[in-house]
Each structure stands twice: as structure tokens, then as C-alpha cells.
Chains A and B, each alone.
Chain A
Amino acid sequence: MNAHICGIGWVTGAGFGWGKQGGDCSFSDLPLPHLTRKDVFPEPNQRFGRMSDYTKLGLAAITFTLRDADLETWVEKRPIGVVASTRLGCLATDLEYHRTVLLNGGGLASPNLFAYTLANCFLGDAAIQFGLTGSSVAINETDVDGLGAIKMALEDLAMGEADTMLAGICDLDVPDAFVDSISLRPGALFLALTTAPPSIPGGYGTVSLTEDGGLIHNGIKTNSLTGLVLAVLAGRTAVQPTQHNTTLDSPE
């Protein structure tokens, strides 16, 4: 089964954005940007300021992806599922929360921070923000190619669990106390995948699973998330002039 990629959004140390906005996505060792509400939502958002940094990171990347896929606005809840792969999850929030536990024998433990000490918590915020009622799970994996969440989303689409899935990765910078034992390139990136062909020309191509569990983008096997993102955004560059001309020639 081929799934169509209809959106891509990211936050990395090099910046944040989404496919149709232009720009490239590159994961780097640079620290992640400090996201404000205005970076993510044009309108006031009462909840964003209270969220953990991990949740802000994941929610921002999901927001940009849905914006890119023209799925940001909604009226009724939608059965869109989300799979997010993470190595450290909410470890930074865990450490922050646990410091409140160490004070006064636990008597000052913060309930607000505790609510964000699950790796899937940002998916709950995304579900509320965008009315997403499909299955939402965070995963940890042993594969190092970064493609686990996308493969899982493709499996869900093939099984008919949903018609549209968001899949990607989300990790904050490694906390200082762990930099000697854990290394990763921080950031968040999501793709929107759908079984429905795009209604207008363009898009980012298709992805599918091979029988041995590999991933194919536009007929070419890809071995890493980085490679897939490069190919997806390169495809965007190729189709942009056509889309642009179509818009200019439109009677509207």
C-alpha cells in the first residue's frame, strides 16, 4: 500500500518550519530554539505557556505538519492517529519534577509538572488542540534509522486503523547530567501520511513498506529519516514551480 505524504514540519537546532513555507530541515548539534507561543500559533493559546519544553517541541512540529497538510483548522474531531518515536522522552521534565519531590520529603511535589512526565503527554495536547481522535502513542526503538514511527504509521494505514496518520520523532537536548552517556541530535519532525491521493498536483510523493520491513519513497529505498526528509523536500522543490504557475494562471 502506498501512502501519500501530504505534510512535513520540523523544529531543529537550525530552525523551524514546514514544507510549503520553504527552507530546509537539518538536524544539528546546535541547541534547540526557545519556542514562544507566537512562533507556533498566531492566535493566543492559554495552554502553551504552561506546557513542558518537551511538549512544546512536539506540539510545535505537529502544528507545522498539520499546517503544511492544510489540516490545522477543524470543526469536528477527526480520527487521525499519531506515532512519535523518542529516545529520552520527557526525561528533562522528569528531572525537573523530581527536584520538587526532593524538597520537603515530597510534600512540595508539583502536580502540574507531574502531568507532563509521560513520553506521550504531548500527543494528548496535540489531540486536544487539533481534535485528533486516532490512536496516539510514543515509542522507543532499538533501530537507529529513525524510521520506526513512520513504518508503524504505514502499518496502521495498511490495516485500516486510520486514513491519516502523523509520524515522526521528538527529543530535547540531552540533559547536562547525561551528556557523557547519551548522545543524540535533538529536534522534532513529523510527516502527515494519508491513504487518499492529493486533490491537487504536487505533494511530496508516496511511501510504502517493503516485504522485509524496509521503506520506499517514490520507488527508491531509503535507509534513514535524514535521507527520507532530504528526498521529500527535494521533491517539493521540483514541484513548486508548477504549483506556483498554476496559482498565477488561475482565474482567481
Chain B
Amino acid sequence: MREVCICAAHAVTGLGPDLESLWRGVMAGESAIRPLTRFATGRYLTGNASWIEGLETKNGRSGIFALLDQLLDGFGPVPANAALITASTKGCVDTMELLQAGLPGNPAEIPMENLLHHLSARFGLTSPGININAACASSTIAVARAASQIAAGRSEAVVVVCMDLVSEFVFSGFSALQALSAEVCRPFDRNRNGLTLGEGGAALLLMSREQAVRKGLPVLGIVAGWGAANDATHITAPARDGCGLIQSVRQALKRADIEPEQVAAISAHGTATVYNDQMELTAFRTLFGERCIPMHSIKGAIGHTLGAAGGIEIALGLKCLESGQLPPTVGMLEPEESGEGFLSRSAQPINGHYFLSTNSGFGGVNAALILRREEM
């Protein structure tokens, strides 16, 4: 198996137009969650989300293109031989909303293949692209797929683009499911009461070590391991025993050829729903015992960005490994009892080389990715 390097990472979130602003914001304990103005929220559980200025539909065109412009204007060149993998749950859902309301819009935007063609043309790529839809674990699985392709020698480079919008479509759905917090979400808090939605995107360039050296590109981190599993329990609720997440992490540990003791920090999914967060704590206690590994969730800072969540968290994970610090869990006031020692309202030091990032989602999906710090 070949070594898989991440050579470029970028993110656009409610905290700012790049990875640096995200890093500074979460380290300072800031949150981009605020009242939404994009659509009326009076009939929903909340009016709050983490949103980005300028992503409204314009002239019948989806706001996802404005998001991609913001994201890719700050992203370096991509080798022509790179494969393209995207991650999005709902793509141009706002175009569908326009059409349903009888407003002008292009129906051809709706199939995800349209976004793939758009991105291929923008990057100047010739190979076919695929979009991964695995609910809120989409981008974690997309990065895992990219790493697998490179490790197996099927690709020299893969660019992964992750994206999702705050739309009334999704907002109303989570509200109908009673899953939205009426305030600002509080991941892993013992009084947490639901998630807050967010929007954003991430772009990651993965390469074989050989190509990274040939191109003279920096290595921000190594994708050491990955895993994915279905808990086969419920469509919208996680398995209480965390069996799918446990299986995913064990696969990732095996692929990385490391022991649980070598994991130095965790970026958890941490949506702030009662059942998700408890499931994760159960899974991590099963995996890591009583050892207190620094763990955090960024959902209180940038909301739950759905199919983009894993990509943004992996990009942030690279910053964590570089700096040796794990940001605080923004929004958490009093940690869930079983999370005490894992979680903090302050930044925590990372003492080790391996960083675990996990996500779970509807349809029973779970995914885990292990990053390794590049040796200096």
C-alpha cells in the first residue's frame, strides 16, 4: 500500500472564508450561529443557523455555485491527472425549491452529475468524477475513498470537494423531526437539546507520497487509516451501543496498524442531539476504556454542515496536528458525565501523532478516518 498525503486543505464556513479563520474562530471559542435571514423561520423550532453571506440563489442559479467560488478561489491548482470525488447530501436543493415555488430555475442543475461536470471543468480534469452520498458521513467516506484509490495505486492524486447549504428544505425537515435546538446547539452537554444547522465546504488534495515529492508540495498530514460501517438498526437514530461507530474505528485502527492507545485526539461528530452524542461517548468508552483522550466537536461553532461536515473537520484536524492543540467544544457548558475528562471548554494539548475524526448519519452510516502528523 502506498502512503497517502494531504497536500492542500481549504474550508469555507460560517466563521470565515478560509481554514485560518475557522481555526482562529474555534480556538477563540467563537460561534457563527445567528438568526437566519434567507427564509422565514417563524414556523420552525428555531431561527438560528451558521450561514454564509452571499449564498442565496441568484438569477435562478443555486447558491452552491457561489459556495464553490468562495471555496475554490482560495484553493491551489490541481494536477490534471487527479480524480474528482465530491461529497454532498442535497447539492442544488435550493434550485429544486425555486422550481417547486414556480420561480425560474434550471432543472438540469439538480442531478449531482451537473456539479461533477462543473467541478471537472473548473479544475481541468479529464477523468470521471463521483459524488458520495452517505448522509452526514459523506465527506469522511469521500476522503476514505480517495485515500483507498491512492493507496491501491489506482490514482496518483484525488481532489475531494465537500459542500452543503442551509436550505429551507433541510431546515424544515430537522425541525419536523424535533431535532433542532431552539437556541444554539450544545454538543456533549448534559442539557443538550438538539442540533443547529450550518453550511460550508471543504476542499482537500490527496496525493501519493511519490507525486507530492515530484510536485514539491508540502505534506500537511497522512491519511493513515479509514473505516465505514452500518449499524443496521434504525433509519434516523443511531444504535445505542455504538456498534457501527465501533466497527468503523476498529477498521481504521487496523488499516493504520496502530493500537487504540496511540490515538492522541478525537474530532467527534457531536451533533448535540441526545442520542447521537450518547452513542458516541458509549462507543469511545468501549474503544478507549477509561483513558481520557482529548475530544471535541465543532458543531457549536459552525453548525452541522451535513455532507460537508467530515471534510471540514478533517481540514481542521490537520491544523490540530500541526499546532498540537485541540480546540474547545464551543457551546458545551457542562459536559455529559461520561464525557468528563474527554471534553473541555478550553483548548487541549495533543500529545501524540494520530488524530481520529468520525461522523455518523441517517441510514445507519458511520465512518472514521485517522490522520497522522507528518514527521518533521
Q: A residues engaging B (CB < 8 A)?
A: 77, 79, 87-89, 91, 94-95, 97-99, 101-102, 104-107, 109-111, 114-121, 123-125, 127-128, 131-143, 148, 152, 155-156, 158-159, 161, 177-178, 180-182, 213
Are A107 and B43 touching (Cβ within 8 A)? yes
Whether B100 is near chain A, meaning CB under 8 Å from some CB there, is yes
List 16 additional A-B contacts (Cβ < 8 Å) besides A142-B120, A213-B154.
A79-B229, A94-B96, A106-B168, A118-B133, A118-B363, A120-B134, A120-B135, A121-B363, A133-B244, A134-B229, A136-B363, A140-B112, A142-B113, A142-B128, A142-B130, A180-B107
Are A140 and B133 touching (Cβ within 8 A)? yes
A88 to B173, CA, bound (A): 20
A91 to B111, CA, bound (A): 9
Are A105 and B113 touching (Cβ within 8 A)? no
10 cross-chain pairs, A with B, having the tightest CB-CB distances, nearest first: A124-B363, A114-B173, A140-B112, A135-B228, A107-B43, A111-B176, A127-B232, A109-B172, A181-B107, A140-B131
**A-B CB pair tally, cutoff 8 Å:** 184
Chain A proximity of B309: nearest CB distance (Å)? 14
Q: Looking across the interface, which residue of chain B has its beta carbon closest to that of A107?
A: B43
Interface segment among B5-13, B233-241, B277-285: the answer is: B233-241
Are B112 and A118 touching (Cβ within 8 A)? no
Chain A proximity of B179: nearest CB distance (Å)? 9
Chain B proximity of A155: nearest CB distance (Å)? 7
A148 to B116, CA, bound (A): 14
B28 cross-chain contacts in A, Cβ below 8 A: none
Interface SS, A side: mixed
Whether B129 is near chain A, meaning CB under 8 Å from some CB there, is yes
Are A159 and B148 touching (Cβ within 8 A)? yes
**Subset of 20 A-B contacts with CB under 8 Å:** A87-B113, A89-B133, A91-B96, A95-B96, A97-B169, A109-B172, A111-B178, A114-B174, A114-B177, A120-B135, A124-B230, A133-B247, A136-B230, A140-B112, A140-B116, A141-B116, A148-B128, A159-B148, A161-B148, A180-B107
Q: Interface residue count for B (Cβ, 8 Å)?
A: 65
- B42, B149, B173, B232, most chain A CB atoms within 10 A: B232
Q: B residues engaging A (CB < 8 A)?
A: 40, 42-44, 89-90, 93, 96-97, 99-101, 106-108, 110-113, 116-117, 120, 128-135, 141, 145, 148-149, 151-152, 154, 168-169, 171-178, 228-236, 243-244, 247, 251, 362-365, 367
| Residue among A94, A105, A118, A182 making CB contact with B40, cutoff 8 Å | A105
